[in-house]
């Protein structure tokens, strides 16, 4: 079984290292949360992360000093390598903010192809804030979702219905107190010689959604509701539904007390990993920060590769992953740690 790998070092060199190690075309899912071209330092002070602060307030976790075209050039070099690492059924999710995100979208169109663009997701990251500045309050950032090909791994994500959703979408209640709605039992498109159901033919230009035998079984089981003018409709019960389809506005707020700057919501990463990878898939995050992506992958029985140059990030990630080193996750919790600088120095010495 492929070993989990945690690499400390420059991620450009790390991605080249992975390609040389035979990982080209082997990665099913990439999630990255790169710097946002803010021109600031991000620190950890007294064991807690501070979003933006002066360096005297704590240890610099990472510097986000590249801006403008220099930042886009930095990112493009890495995206090209990530595309090479992705499998043909692979996906990439890039998390970025609204100030630079639209430039990154153009860049990703260039690298991955505009036909492989899937979604521009708005992620609600925080509660509304009352900043006194010109402009609307910013409570969102962006997740850009691309695939390597037309046939990626896709495990349809579902979102649980809220009480308000159930009342709105399932407005009827049967004698047992179950909420339901009804849908037509016919669909667009005529068929030749349609069969009769209870003496009825489908309306002109339409056909039965299923065979007449099944319609009769539904009716016998009380799953067909007949209107006062004799129009049959199928009952759909709320308690039999998995939930509603995820849309492109997500509410996964940042942790209130993060251990690392810009730490992301674990439930969001778990949802992404479930949706765009399978059991045993390799998940890669080359800006792994606090290790949330790796943690989510490990919880869901995927293999993972994480890369970060920051000593603080690697220490935070190891602390988090080592918390799973006993009990249920002991067998999958092991990983190989690679210090890329040492490898490069040995190569140069040779």
pLDDT in tens, 193-202: 889 999 999 9
For residue 256, the model assigns a pLDDT of 85
Average pLDDT for the chain: 87
For residue 276, the model assigns a pLDDT of 98
Q: Which residues contact 129 (CB under 8 A, 6 or more apart)?
A: 137, 138, 139
Nearest-10 Cα torsion for 10, 13, 19, 24: 50
For residue 328, the model assigns a pLDDT of 43
Q: What are the backbone angles phi and psi of residue 250, rounded to the nearest 5°?
A: -110, 140
Q: Would you state the CATH architecture of domain 4-157+246-349?
A: 3-Layer(aba) Sandwich (3.40)
The domain segmentation of the chain, as residue ranges, is 4-157+246-349, 163-240
Sign of CA dihedral 322, 327, 329, 331: positive
Write b or e for each residue in 242-251: b if 16 or more Cβ atoms lie within 10 A of its Cβ, otherwise e: eeeeeeeebe
For residue 1, the model assigns a pLDDT of 44
Reading the chain (350 residues) residue by residue, the pLDDT tens digits are 468 999 999 999 999 999 999 999 999 999 999 986 555 554 555 555 454 444 445 555 445 556 678 889 999 999 999 999 999 999 999 999 998 999 999 999 999 999 999 999 999 999 888 878 888 989 999 999 999 999 999 999 999 999 999 999 999 999 999 999 999 999 999 888 889 999 999 999 999 999 999 999 999 999 999 998 889 999 999 999 989 999 999 999 998 888 887 889 999 999 999 999 999 999 999 999 999 999 999 999 999 999 999 888 899 899 888 876 544 444 445 888 888 876 665 554 43
């Amino acid at each position: 079984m492929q070993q989990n790998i945690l690499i400390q070092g420059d991620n450009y060199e790390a991605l080249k290292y992975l390609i040389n190690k035979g990982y080209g075309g082997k990665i099913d899912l990439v999630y990255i949360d790169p710097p946002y071209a803010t021109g600031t330092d991000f620190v950890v002070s007294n064991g807690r992360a501070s979003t933006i602060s002066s360096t005297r307030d704590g240890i610099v976790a990472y510097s986000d000093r590249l801006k403008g075209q220099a930042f886009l050039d930095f990112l493009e070099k890495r995206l090209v390598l990530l595309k090479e690492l992705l499998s043909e059924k692979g996906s990439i999710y890039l998390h970025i903010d609204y100030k630079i995100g639209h430039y990154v979208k153009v860049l990703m169109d260039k690298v991955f192809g505009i036909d492989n663009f899937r979604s521009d997701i708005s992620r609600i990251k925080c509660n509304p804030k009352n900043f006194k500045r010109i402009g609307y309050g910013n409570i969102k950032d962006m997740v850009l979702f691309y695939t390597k090909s037309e046939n990626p791994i896709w495990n349809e994500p579902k979102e649980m219905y809220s009480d308000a959703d159930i009342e709105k979408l399932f407005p009827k209640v049967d004698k047992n107190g179950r909420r339901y709605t009804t849908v037509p039992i016919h669909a667009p498109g005529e068929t030749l010689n349609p069969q009769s159901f209870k003496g009825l033919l489908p309306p002109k230009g339409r056909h039965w959604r299923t065979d007449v035998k099944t319609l009769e079984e539904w009716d016998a089981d009380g799953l067909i509701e007949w209107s006062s003018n004799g129009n049959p409709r199928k009952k759909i019960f709320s308690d039999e539904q998995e939930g509603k389809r995820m849309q492109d506005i997500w509410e996964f707020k940042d942790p209130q007390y993060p251990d690392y700057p810009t730490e992301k919501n674990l439930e969001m990463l778990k949802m992404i990993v479930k949706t765009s990878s399978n059991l045993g898939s390799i998940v890669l995050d080359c800006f792994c920060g606090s290790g949330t992506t790796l943690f989510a992958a490990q919880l869901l029985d995927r293999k993972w590769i994480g890369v970060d140059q920051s000593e603080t990030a690697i220490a935070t990630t190891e602390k988090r992953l080592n918390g799973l080193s006993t009990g249920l996750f002991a067998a999958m919790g092991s990983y190989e740690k690679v210090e890329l600088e040492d490898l490069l120095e040995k190569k140069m010495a040779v």
